[in-house]
A and B are shown apart, each in its own frame.
Chain A
Amino acid sequence: MNQDAEFYIGWQTETPPGFARAVRRFIIGLCLLVPVVAALIVVFQSGFSGATFEYGKKTTLEGTFSRSPVPFLSIHSGINAAGKPVLQKILLVGPGKFGFDATAKYKNLQNGALVTLTGFLIYHDGKTGMQVESIENQAITGNQQPITDKQQPVSSPVTLRGEITDPKCLLGVMKPGLGKPHRDCAVRCIAGGIPPVLKVANTAGETEYYLLAGPKGEPINNLLLEYVSDGVQLCGRLDPEGDWPVLYVDPANIRRINKGALNPGNTCN
């Protein structure tokens, strides 16, 4: 028999003391447990980079436009210790999850054109990009000559291990801008024309970012979609100059590797 004399009915006004006590204890337990859980989640998550997306804060830059292998704006950013001008490359992307070329009116922009460009800067780890909002051609004057830049890779073949993602999110539009949770977004960005980037980290914790293009500098975005956010090994010729090195790769030679093998070093030949 041994049945409790107390009986709870939700629509009655009073809760029997034994029931109220049990519920109180449950709620107190939750009040103690939940903050601990919340704190553990926050404390033990990976954290976020100091990448910055200056959305809403427009910046205007003047420089030389180049389309291949990826859309860049080359600007002079001062003079180095030897008294020579320092060249900075700004990676150009479109709004949302689109590349620069997705905006129809930019497609006819000539390679080497001097332009004034307005947009939102995105920067992280010494790399800079810009979400372009408007662009104007400039007349070439005697003092303003287009910056000429070589277009071909210069190194012998190298092999790199890393993770493919999109540079727009990686530079600061999203945090984290890589990894499995970000995979679908990176796929959309790369499918939308934003050039793919290979993030490579070495054991010393140093990170480098390599923009990826085909052997002749052609876009290979759609060929890389299935590898996005995976650990991959890529072999190609490297143009290491400037602040945005470019790796010219044959997509047929991409190999998927365990992400645990990402850190041993830049080369694996």
Chain B
Amino acid sequence: MKVTLRIWRQSGPDESGKLVDYQMDDVNPDMSFLEMLDVLNERLILNGEAPVAFDHDCREGICGSCGMVINGMPHGPQTLTTTCQLHMRTFSDGDVIVVEPWRSAAFPIIKDLVVDRTAFDRIIQSGGYISVATGSAPEAHSQLVPKPDADLAFENAECIGCGACVAACPNGSSMLFVSAKVSHLNVLPQGQPERETRVLRMVEAMDLEGFGGCTNTGECTNACPKGIPQASIARLNREYLRASLSGRR
């Protein structure tokens, strides 16, 4: 099949960028989207042009490295699917496919489709953990965790930190990301001692990074490749309110 790629090219953080068209004449429908970009890049290298820079690593939909806005949708048109797991059979012969980086003030562009997502790491550093030094843990069965709580924690812990939620949000909010980690840790008994400080610190860090506020548009949950639910944001709001009133910091 033939497609036209319209890709955002930007040579550096301070350079201006533009959309550039590339004609792909021999696309195998069984290729993944990234493999198609590999083919394009091989061609560009041989033509003496700069290949398109993009983040990727596991190509199994779990590391969270890849991510591009494809035809206006973070990770492209297929729900619950990361960019690396998107395949060309999803598109039709003759399609024009627009490819852009995540766009958010808190995720500055480094080059082409590569953005800086270290803001997410700093949010986790602010409190997205349970403080337990190695060797100090009690016997694993000394504390029971009801299965529904363990399952709920797991569903939220599935977040891969890709940033699609931020890219999808009209406000550039990272509430879904933060709510997933707060939900994961705050519903577990092990997470109780730091329950309040965790949510207060993480929300503060999120605001400092320049992410926008949440207005419940739901675009984030629609874009999330791991299906983190909107209910997690509601839980984050409740946890934040509760912590604010608790007087614990």
Decide whether A and B assemble into one complex.
Answer: no
